[in-house]
Amino acid sequence: MPGIRPNPAKRAVPKDHQDSYIYQIRNSLYINLTDRCTLACQFCPKHNGSTEVKGHELFLSKRPEPKQIIQEIGDPTCYDEIVFCGYGEPTIRLKALLEIASWVKQQGGKTRINTDGLGSLFHKRDIVPELAECIDALSVSLNAQNEEVYQRHCLPSLPNSYEAVKAFISSASKMIPEVHVSAINGLEDVDVIQCKEITEQCGATFRQRELDVVG
């Protein structure tokens, strides 16, 4: 499918492997919705032979149905938040994401998406109004202060991805209560000060991440 990065796993999956569709870090419950992504970030563990985060194996042999995820969540109010963040980019499976997030909100839970900010570019429309109906917070990876650095580290599969991320942040900042934008301190030629300035110009809040710290 155009614009999609294939499953990048470099190792064989054990015969007794069982997919993890949800996993917990601290008191947040994470949803592992897809293995597909619009980027191939060179600093991402999955492009360096690892499919684990905080001891959770996130390799997917198949993509879960929304009903299966909902059943596994149980009571969403038991957690600080329900976070769409797993092996791939969650907004690629927008319909499934919206179905699950709407259910979580109906049950009184809080929702957040960790995203590369390319959902609107991928779906060829502004998806922010749809997200705003059931998403409380976004964590968006800006990753670079200009297109050249972004292209080098993130290897986007879609043209004009860097400008699309900034447009997504600007749109989301107007409609979603919490929008946090990140870049990685320690990544070669990434200027986190400039990334912070760009983030604030887009109306969002900047959060600095550190290289090789995941989850």
What contacts 124, CB < 8 A, 6 or more positions away?
none
Tell me what percent of the residues of the chain surpass a pLDDT of 90.
Answer: 77
How would residue 10 be classed by pLDDT, with cut points 50, 70 and 90? very low
Residue-level pLDDT at 52 = 65
Give the pLDDT confidence of 47-74 residue by residue, as tens digits. 566 676 666 778 898 899 999 999 999 9
Q: Does residue 39 contact residue 70 with C-beta atoms inside 8 Å?
A: no
Report the DSSP beta bridge partners of residue 5. Answer: 37
**Position 2 pLDDT exceeds 70:** no
pTM, entire model: 0.90
b/e string for 118-150 if b means 16 or more Cβ within 10 A? Answer: bbbbbeeebbbebbbebbbbbbbbbbbbeeebb
The domain ranges of the chain are 22-210
Mean pLDDT of 82-92: 95
Residue-level pLDDT at 16 = 78
Domain 22-210 = CATH 1.10.10.10: no
Residue-level pLDDT at 9 = 47
Higher pLDDT, 1 or 156: 156
- DSSP class of residue 107 equals T
What contacts 152, CB < 8 A, 6 or more positions away?
189
